[in-house]
């Protein structure tokens, strides 16, 4: 495998510009670099056209805002620890958020062990074990490049994560994130559960207060 300059892995623009809930599909990191071997068979999104400004956005280390750690549950030291030998998970393909209930800062990295294994299962059926091995190695290398970026510029990462956290808590209430869902029964709020849906349940876990306006953030207790 050729070695790559870690600086060539620019983070996708939406990691810093958009609140986490605007992402509706995992974008294929390899496609963005013209390196996806799965082409049309790829299970991740190949956005067409490619997001504008990819590769030319300022790096997230270049924020000019001085760090103001009030109201967030993380700081430069905690981020540094998260990527260090006492805290970094053994599973190498994971998204990352810097604190409790904080939006995901390293996005587009989540592949679960079961997804990897399902991919291996499909590849084995077609005799494409070598391609799976390459896919696995590339996914790990891609994630490691992101982690290395954070670890080598923790202060810049903190500033970007702080901005993300601020914009997330300032946005609309979480209930707005739900895309419209479908019901076979159509029309209004009926569901397949029948008329009992509208009655007040006798022992509801949710109670009256739970149907009030959801608060945008949970209590900011220390993590």
Nearer to another protein, 55 or 174 (CB): 174
In this structure, are residues 10 and 57 in contact, taking their beta carbons and an 8 Å threshold?
Answer: yes
The length of the chain, given as a count of residues: 223
Nearest distance from residue 195's CB to another protein, in Å?
A: 7
- Taking alpha carbons only, the member of 92, 110, 101 closest to residue 74 is 101
Stretch that binds another protein, among 7-15, 24-32, 34-42, 54-62 (CB under 8 A): 24-32
d(CA 31, CA 45): 9
Which residues, at least 6 apart from 219, have a Cβ–Cβ distance to it below 8 Å? none
Nearer to another protein, 58 or 194 (CB): 194
- Interface map 175-214 toward another protein (x if CB under 8 A): x-xxxxxxxxx---x-xxxxxxx---x--xxxx-xx---x
Which of the residues 105 through 144 are near another protein (CB under 8 A)?
107-108, 110, 112-118, 120-122, 132-133, 136, 140
Which of the residues 25 through 54 are near another protein (CB under 8 A)?
25-26, 43
Q: Binder to another protein among 90, 126, 127, 187 (CB under 8 A)?
A: 90
The interaxial angle of helices 129-152 and 154-169, nearest 10 deg, is 90
- Taking alpha carbons only, the member of 79, 42, 73, 44 closest to residue 158 is 79
Q: Does 162 bind another protein (CB under 8 A)?
A: no
Q: Does 219 bind another protein (CB under 8 A)?
A: yes
């Amino acid at each position: 495998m050729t070695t790559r300059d870690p600086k060539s892995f620019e983070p996708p623009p939406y990691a810093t510009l958009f609140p986490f809930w605007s992402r509706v599909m995992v974008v294929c990191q390899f496609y963005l670099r013209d390196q996806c071997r799965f082409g049309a068979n790829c299970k991740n999104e190949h956005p067409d056209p490619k997001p504008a400004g990819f590769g030319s956005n300022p790096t997230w280390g270049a924020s000019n805002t001085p760090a103001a750690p009030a109201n967030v549950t993380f700081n430069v030291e905690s981020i540094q620890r998260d990527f260090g030998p006492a805290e970094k998970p053994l599973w190498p393909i994971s998204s990352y958020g810097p604190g409790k209930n904080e939006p995901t800062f390293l996005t587009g990295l989540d592949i679960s062990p079961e997804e990897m294994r399902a991919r291996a299962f499909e590849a084995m059926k077609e005799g494409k074990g070598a391609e799976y091995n390459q896919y696995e190695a590339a996914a790990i290398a891609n994630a490691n490049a992101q982690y290395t970026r954070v670890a080598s510029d923790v202060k810049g990462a903190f500033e970007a994560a702080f901005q993300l956290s601020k914009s997330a808590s300032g946005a609309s209430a979480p209930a707005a994130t739900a895309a419209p869902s479908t019901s076979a029964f159509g029309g209004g709020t009926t569901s397949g559960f029948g008329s009992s849906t509208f009655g007040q349940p006798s022992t509801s876990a949710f109670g009256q207060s739970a149907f009030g306006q959801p608060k945008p953030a949970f209590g900011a207790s220390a993590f």
